[in-house]
């Protein structure tokens, strides 16, 4: 804070330096007594002495004079005992808007165009080199033509003397009044563009946007401090200059709301409405009336600016935010210098001496850079926090990934154990349904033979068949464990032959129909085994409970499914009233679920039974 105060005091150094200049100490001559006449002539008017109104410089045109014209002539007299031995110059420290100088009727130089738009020298000193041959011993007449606009026409006292002394003064004053503004313009413009780019990267924080707009508005206004030849009419240019200065404070006020994270939508709407209404009023005002409208407009803008500074300083005091304090004090300094410049421009204080320098163009850009630095630090802090958060999230993700991998490994282990358990249960079922039945039948036949049952040769033949069937079941089980696959042609043939074999043993007639479009279609052996078990179960039920005489098997396929149908002409049962069936029907349903096959059992008393399976491919 103290550094900013010291900086503000240092801003006064140029004014102090220039305010202390005297013609006596340097040998330069100040001429402040002049005669004045209002004339549109482009060369010194030839008029009687009594028509030149005497006055003392500096001279600001009063309002009544504006209405009569905007081109005037000043005539000054200089007595020389002898012609200067060295080259002299004529120095116009302050003028507005443009000037041309004549010595003893000879044109010396001017500040640019006198046509609309007039060259702008309101913030630019003029220095003209005078050839020694133009000076006279005795009285010399200096005529100065001034042209401006109805809100600001003035001329300060002229300084004459050695061109080298005047050149140093001219260059130093031009540096502080004009060149510094020109040098700071690209810097403030770059700050505005850079802050806008930060907002593009961080759209959720609009404080960067409003600060960027504020700085860009100031950059536009600062053009008025050093632009010599404007590309617009005087009214259009002043409308842009007045407007940009007001919009600067409006955007700065909205920035403070965003920076302090306060919602002031209604208040901000009033700000914007005030700025727009002022712009409209200026647009419709005459050139001579624009200054009056701007006074009212500026007054509101200044009050808004001080309110913005107050908000930031209050936040600093309450919350202890150093950034808010720096920005609030910086804005206050900028506004104080702006008030000084406005008072100077309104001629409420002298335009020469200690107070004759505009100060706002020194303070604003540097304060902007200080504020921008704090915003950049804030942006960098946000990036660091985001990177830290990303790193933390990355660590959490890695930890979660590790936990998931461990969990997946545990799940795979559990799935493996469950698969082993399921396979054991399946093998147990297959042994029970296949080998177990064969062994039971074999034991029964052995008992019959040992008891001396009749026709032992037939029983031995049956025992051999049972053992052969058990051996086939064992092969099927092994094939299932090995995961081999069979073709549809082989499977359908095997099912048909098994059905015929069982039907022949039971004394039943059997017919098998196979209609296949792709006999080479591969079928997993587990599916083959399930189909075989279902066929066996269906045939067993038909033989044991159906009291049937014929069995019909139909096997057919198409592009989407394979259909297996087992039909008998037995006694049947009421399938609509079946509430769950016996153990055999449940086994059939379970095996169909394992194959993802559809099972349909249709039966009516006295009409036989039809079992249909549809295996989807």
Q: Which string of DSSP letters, residue by residue, matches 457-500?
A: HHHHHHHHHHHHHHHHHHHHHHHHHHT-EEEHHHHHHHHHHHHH
For the ranges 16-30, 55-69, 135-149, 518-532, the maximum mean pLDDT occurs at: 135-149
**pLDDT at residue 167, as a whole number:** 94
Element (H, E) at 182: helix 180-201
**pLDDT, tens only, 434-460:** 666 666 666 666 666 766 666 666 767
Q: Which band of pLDDT confidence, cut at 50, 70 and 90, is reported for residue 473?
A: low
**pLDDT, tens only, 19-51:** 333 344 467 899 999 999 999 999 999 999 899
**pLDDT at residue 423, as a whole number:** 58
DSSP count for the chain of H helices, then E strands: 17, 20
For the ranges 4-8, 66-70, 124-128, the maximum mean pLDDT occurs at: 124-128
Say if residue 529's pLDDT is above 50: yes
**pLDDT at residue 595, as a whole number:** 82
Looking at per-residue pLDDT, the higher value among 525 and 69 belongs to 69
Say if residue 220's pLDDT is above 60: yes
Which whole-number Å values give the CA distances from 209 to 249, 252, 373, 385, 399, in the listed order?
A: 14, 10, 15, 21, 39
Chain Cα centroid distance, residue 601: 65
d(CA 614, CA 332): 88
d(CA 18, CA 219): 27
**pLDDT at residue 546, as a whole number:** 77
d(CA 587, CA 426): 12
Residues 6 or more apart whose CB falls under 8 angstroms from that of 208 comprise 195, 196, 198, 199, 202, 375, 379
d(CA 205, CA 9): 34
Which whole-number Å values give the CA distances from 364 to 179, 196, 216, 316, 431, in the listed order?
A: 15, 18, 12, 21, 96
Say if residue 476's pLDDT is above 90: no
d(CA 256, CA 259): 5
Query: Would you tell me how many other CB atoms lie within 10 Å of the CB of residue 374?
Result: 16
Asked if residues 529 and 430 have their Cβ atoms less than 8 Å apart, the reply is yes
Instruction: Check: pTM over 0.75? Answer yes or no.
Output: no
Say if residue 53's pLDDT is above 60: yes
Residues 6 or more apart whose CB falls under 8 angstroms from that of 399 comprise none
**pLDDT, tens only, 150-172:** 877 889 999 999 999 999 999 99
Residue with tokens 């309104």: 346
Say if residue 119's pLDDT is above 90: yes
**pLDDT at residue 88, as a whole number:** 95
Closest CA to 127 of 181, 164, 153: 164
Closest CA to 150 of 72, 205, 47, 217: 72
**pLDDT, tens only, 8-24:** 344 444 433 333 333 44
**pLDDT, tens only, 278-291:** 889 888 888 877 87
Say if residue 133's pLDDT is above 70: yes
Asked if residues 553 and 491 have their Cβ atoms less than 8 Å apart, the reply is no
Closest CA to 132 of 156, 112, 104: 104
d(CA 122, CA 230): 13
């Amino acid at each position: 804070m103290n550094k900013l105060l010291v900086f503000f005091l240092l801003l006064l150094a140029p004014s102090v330096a220039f305010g202390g200049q005297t013609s006596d100490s340097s040998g330069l001559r100040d001429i402040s007594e002049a005669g004045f006449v209002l004339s549109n002539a482009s060369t010194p008017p030839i008029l009687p002495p009594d028509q030149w109104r005497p006055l003392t410089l500096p001279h600001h045109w009063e309002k009544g004079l504006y209405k009569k014209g905007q081109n005037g002539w000043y005539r000054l007299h200089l007595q020389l005992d002898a012609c200067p031995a060295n080259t002299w110059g004529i120095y116009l420290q302050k003028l507005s808007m443009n000037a041309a100088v004549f010595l003893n009727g000879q044109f010396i130089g001017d500040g640019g165009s006198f046509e609309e738009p007039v060259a702008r020298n309101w913030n630019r000193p003029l220095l003209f080199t005078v050839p020694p041959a133009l000076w006279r011993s005795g009285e010399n007449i200096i005529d100065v033509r001034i042209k401006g606009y109805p809100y600001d026409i003035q001329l300060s006292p002229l300084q004459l003397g050695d061109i080298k002394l005047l050149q140093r003064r001219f260059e130093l004053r031009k540096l502080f009044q004009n060149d510094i503004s020109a040098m700071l313009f690209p810097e403030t413009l770059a700050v505005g563009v850079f802050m806008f780019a930060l907002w593009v990267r961080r759209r959720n924080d609009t404080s960067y946007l409003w600060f960027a707009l504020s700085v860009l508005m100031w950059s536009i206004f600062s053009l008025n401090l050093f632009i010599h030849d404007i590309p617009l009419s005087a009214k259009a240019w002043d409308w842009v200059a007045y407007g940009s200065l007001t919009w600067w404070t409006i955007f700065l006020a909205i920035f403070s709301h965003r920076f302090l994270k306060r919602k002031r939508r209604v208040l901000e709407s009033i700000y914007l409405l005030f700025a727009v209404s002022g712009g409209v009023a200026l647009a419709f005002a005459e050139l001579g009336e624009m200054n009056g409208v701007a006074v009212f407009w500026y007054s509101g803008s200044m009050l808004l600016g001080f309110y913005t500074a107050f908000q930031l300083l209050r936040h600093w005091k309450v919350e202890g935010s150093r950034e808010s304090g720096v920005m609030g004090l910086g804005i206050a300094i900028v506004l104080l210098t702006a008030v000084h410049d406005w008072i100077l421009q309104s001629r409420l204080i002298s335009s020469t001496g200690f107070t004759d320098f505009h100060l706002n163009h020194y303070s604003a850009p540097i304060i902007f850079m200080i504020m921008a630095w704090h915003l950049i630090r804030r942006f960098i802090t946000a990036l660091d926090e985001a990177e830290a958060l990303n790193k933390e999230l990355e660590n959490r993700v890695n930890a979660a990934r590790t936990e998931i991998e461990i969990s997946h490994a545990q799940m795979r282990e559990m799935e493996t154990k469950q698969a082993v358990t399921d396979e054991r249960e399946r093998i147990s079922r297959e042994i029970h349904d296949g080998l177990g039945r064969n062994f039971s039948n074999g034991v029964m036949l052995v008992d019959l033979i040992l008891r001396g049952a009749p026709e032992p040769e037939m029983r031995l033949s049956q025992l051999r068949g049972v053992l052969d069937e058990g051996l086939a079941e064992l092969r099927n089980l092994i094939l299932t464990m090995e995961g081999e696959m069979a073709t549809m042609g082989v499977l359908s043939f095997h099912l048909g032959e098994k059905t015929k074999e069982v039907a022949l043993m039971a004394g039943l007639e059997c017919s098998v129909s196979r209609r296949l479009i792709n006999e080479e279609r591969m079928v997993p052996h587990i599916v083959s085994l399930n189909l075989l078990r279902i066929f066996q179960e269906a045939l067993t039920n038909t033989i044991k409970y159906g009291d049937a005489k014929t069995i019909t098997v139909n096997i057919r396929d198409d592009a989407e499914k394979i259909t297996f149908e087992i039909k008998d002409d037995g006694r049947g049962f009421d399938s609509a009233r079946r509430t769950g069936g016996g153990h055999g029907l449940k086994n059939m349903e379970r095996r169909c679920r394992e194959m993802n096959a559809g099972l349909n059992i249709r039966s009516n008393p006295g009409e036989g039974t039809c079992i249909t399976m549809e295996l989807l491919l």
